[in-house]
Chain A
Amino acid sequence: MTSVLWSDVLDEYVGVGVGSPEQLREWIRRYPQFETELRDFTAAWVLTSAAEEDVLEASDHAKELNERDHLRGSSIVQNLLHHLDNQSAEPTSSLGAECQRLGRDLQSVAEEADLGVPLFRKLDRRQIVVESIPDRVLTILATILGRTVVFVRSCLGGPPRAAAALHHSDKAPELVKPQDFFEAIRLDPDMPEERRSRWMALKDQR
Chain B
Amino acid sequence: MDVRPLRHKKADGTLWVRPPDVETEIRATLELATTELVAKAIKLRLETIVYWIRETGTDKKVRNKLSEILLARCQPNIRSHVGRLPNSDEAVDEVTTTMFTAILDLEKTGGDVYEAIFWKKLKTTSTDVARAHLTRNRRNPMPRELTEDFGEVANGEDDLGRSAPDSPLEAVLKAGDEQAYKEGKRLARIAIGLLKPEVQQAYLLREEGWAIESKESDEETISKALHRTPRTIRNWLREAEDAVRRRLGGGHD
> Interface of A with B (CB < 8 Å)?
4-5, 7-12, 14-15, 19-22, 24-25, 28, 37, 39-55, 57, 62, 65-66, 68-70, 72-74, 76-78, 80-81, 84-85, 114, 135-136, 139, 142-143, 148-150
Q: For the complex, what is the distance from the CA of A5 to the CA of B102, rounded to whole Å?
A: 14
Q: List 24 A-B contacts (CB under 8 A).
A: A11-B117, A12-B11, A14-B120, A20-B208, A21-B221, A22-B220, A24-B220, A37-B131, A40-B131, A41-B131, A43-B134, A44-B127, A44-B134, A47-B201, A48-B84, A52-B81, A65-B83, A70-B75, A72-B89, A73-B75, A73-B78, A77-B100, A78-B64, A80-B100
Kindly list the 7 A-B residue pairs having the minimum CB-CB distance in the complex, ordered from nearest. Answer: A21-B220, A46-B204, A44-B131, A8-B11, A55-B80, A44-B130, A51-B84
Docked-complex contact B76 and A55, CB < 8 angstroms: yes
Residue in contact with B110 in the complex, picked from A7, A69, A136, A143, CB distance below 8 Å: A7
Interface readout for B206-220 with A: 1 if CB under 8 Å, 0 if not?
Answer: 001111000000111
Q: For the complex, what is the distance from the CA of A14 to the CA of B118, rounded to whole Å?
A: 13
Docked-complex contact A8 and B80, CB < 8 angstroms: no
Contacts of B93 in A (CB 8 A): 72-73, 76, 143
Docked-complex contact A76 and B97, CB < 8 angstroms: yes
Task: Say if the beta carbon of B39 comes within 8 Å of chain A.
Answer: no
Q: Tally the A-B contacts, defined by beta carbons under 8 Å.
A: 181
Docked-complex contact B104 and A73, CB < 8 angstroms: no
Q: Which residue on B lies nearest to A29, using beta carbons?
A: B218
Whole-angstrom distance from the CB of A40 to the nearest CB of chain B? 5
Which B126-175 residues sit within 8 Å CB-CB of chain A? 126-128, 130-132, 134-136, 139
